[in-house]
Amino acid sequence: MGLGLSHPITSKMLYRLGNSNFKIGMATMHGWRESMEDAHCIELSLPKHSDYAFFGIFDGHSGSLCANYMAEHLFKNIDSVEDFSDTDALAKTCIKTDEQFLSAEQFIYNDDGCACIFTLCKNENGKVSLINGNIGDSRTIFAKKENDTSYKAVACSFDHKPTDTKEKERIEAAKGYVSLQRVDGQLALSRAFGDRQLKTPLDYPGEKKKVTSNPDFILETGTSEDFLFMACDGIYEADVFGRQDVITWIANKMETTQDLAVICAALLDECLERGSHDNMSAMIVQFKDGTNYAQEKEYVPGPWFDGEQDKKFQSAYTADALAAGYTLEKALALRKSNEAKKQQTQEK
């Protein structure tokens, strides 16, 4: 992980999805980290609950295996819950999915983990209902429209930190301790998927372990004029943005463009400029027809640096391009083409 790069990797993946009920834009960026550990999941209609969509962001730490596993499996397990209003059943499903990851043979020597936010969303003719689950310190915000240009940020998740009274009591009851604002002096989150070494005592039920994968839930309702914003903690670290600040920033951008993925990409650049050093993932969900908005994901390569001191950067940049389906040569050619088009636009 680390911050050992000579330059941040500003290459981005842009996602544009939609159906008759939802319009979704998302962007992800590597940033200063040596590897990309975020993952996400967007299911516009669940197989067994076709009237519900599932949106999730999984912020990995100490690796990406857990985040990728949860992005692939959590929504499937949640879809097996008969009644989504039964949040106890949803919570047990999250703990069960965590146990499945920890017991999988290919991961038994793996100690990474991930924070998680997910939203189960129904849009019935503009009447929107949200079931927001949270494990860790990523954040979900429901932006409720107040007038033509402003939105009120409604918190749909609250960070799980070891120093919080409720969290500290559970940690200590599970024979752990809080030091340097971390569980056993190691993890800055008190709830997460994975983190095998902190899922103790082994004979404790999942919700009582030192680090639990038991989610909190916040339910909200709104209309088609509102929007949902979900992001990992890279958007907020070191007070880069507050909840209302980021919603106001997005709303201002919506005055000039309706391309939600482009807004998310610009937000990542803004966070980087303000001092974020983490991987970044940001998603905007509007409750309107997004059928014509949907298209293939887009890779936007960032600047390349070829100095002798840039070896780590070059290795990470190449890996990032390969993950997007591009060789380094093709990524740099695309970068050159994009810059030429940008220059032509500015000259008109």
pLDDT at 4 over 90: no
Fold observed for domain 9-300: Phosphatase 2c; domain 1 (3.60.40)
Extract the tokens encoding 96: 């069960």
What are 245-267's pLDDT values in tens digits? 999 999 999 999 999 999 999 99
With cut-offs at 50, 70 and 90, classify the pLDDT of residue 282.
very high
| C-alpha to C-alpha distance for 32 and 6, rounded to whole angstroms | 8
Would you state the pLDDT for residue 149?
A: 82
DSSP character string of 30-94 = EETSSS--EEEEEESS-SS-TT-EEEEEEEEES-SHHHHHHHHHHHHHHHT-S-TT-HHHHHHHH
| C-alpha to C-alpha distance for 214 and 165, rounded to whole angstroms | 16
What are 146-202's pLDDT values in tens digits? 988 899 999 999 999 999 999 999 999 999 999 999 999 999 999 999 999 999 998
What are 29-79's pLDDT values in tens digits? 999 999 999 999 999 999 999 999 999 999 999 999 999 999 999 999 999
| C-alpha to C-alpha distance for 57 and 135, rounded to whole angstroms | 11
pTM of the model: 0.96
DSSP character string of 225-274 = T-EEEEE-GGGTGGGS--HHHHHHHHHHHHTT---HHHHHHHHHHHHHHH
Report whether 44 contacts 291 (CB < 8 A).
no
